[in-house]
Amino acid sequence: MTNPIIERLQAQLEAGKDSPLLRFGLGSALFNEKHYEAAAEHLRECVKQMPDHSAAWKLLGRSEMALGNDAAAAEAFERGLAVAQEKGDVQVEREIGVFLNKLARKRG
């Protein structure tokens, strides 16, 4: 069974209503369904359209991490960390720190 939220967001995108928040919502819904490649695709577009979206950078990093793309994950987390620090987004900053530590432990 397909997720109705994903279907609705994809329909909006196909209707030409592209926006960073639509891409973030679609990427987030796809991530939650474990469709990491598709999630990463939409999240990459989200941060391209809105580079200061720290939560999108964090979720992009998590998507890349789930795909085993550790270098891309680290890059997304680092970009997200810089944005979060610049915006004073302490919660996202903490969460990204946790994921960066996981990556560091994985790398040995």
Q: What percent of the chain is predicted at pLDDT more than 70?
A: 99
Q: Decide if pLDDT at 41 tops 70.
A: yes
Residue 107's pLDDT band (boundaries 50, 70, 90)?
Answer: confident
Give pLDDT, residue 63. Answer: 98
In the chain, what are the domains?
Answer: 4-107 (1.25.40.10)
Mean pLDDT of 70-94: 97
Give pLDDT, residue 1. Answer: 46
Q: What is the 3-state secondary structure (H, E, C) of the chain?
A: CCCHHHHHHHHHHHCCCCCHHHHHHHHHHHHHCCCHHHHHHHHHHHHHHCCCCHHHHHHHHHHHHHCCCHHHHHHHHHHHHHHHHHHCCHHHHHHHHHHHHHHHHHHC
pTM of the model: 0.95
